[in-house]
Amino acid sequence: MNIRTNEAGSVTHEYILKSGFKVFDEIKGNDMGQMTYEMPQYTNGKIKILGGYWNYSIVDMENNILWSGWWNSNGEFDEVIKSLKQKI
């Protein structure tokens, strides 16, 4: 479930970057010895996108959760980001 591969779903690393986000950290891990992964964590200076293995959380800069879930398309991602802009 690495966002940097096409197997991660419809919303790719490149699409998130094109949406105005930048990588501020990477989570590295090992899935019970079966695979290793590196998952970028994103920010646009107002919100952060965290997680990415089975779930994403969008938090404000004080780490208050604003949204949690998974996007199945670029459209879903865009709708969530648009709805959050009204809150922040």
pLDDT tens by residue, 15-38: 999 999 999 999 988 878 788 888
- Specify the pTM: 0.83
Counting the structural domains of the chain, the total is: 1
Statement: residue 66 has pLDDT above 90: yes
Q: What is the pLDDT of residue 1?
A: 44
In a domain, 19, yes or no: yes
Whether residue 68 lies inside any domain: the answer is yes
Q: What percent of the chain has pLDDT over 70?
A: 89
What pLDDT shows up at residue 44?
96
Q: Is residue 64 part of a domain?
A: yes
CB atoms < 10 A from the CB of 21, how many?
20
Q: Given pLDDT bands bounded at 50, 70 and 90, which one contains residue 81?
A: very high
Residue 69 included in any domain: yes
pLDDT score for 5: 52
Residue 51 is assigned to a structural domain of this protein: yes
The share of the chain scoring above pLDDT 90, in percent, equals: 57
Give residue-wise pLDDT tens across range 53-62: 788 999 999 9
Q: Each residue of 49-79: b (16+ CB within 10 Å) or e?
A: bbbbeeebebbeeeeeeeeeeebeeeeebee
Residue 53, domain extent: 6-85
1: in domain:
no
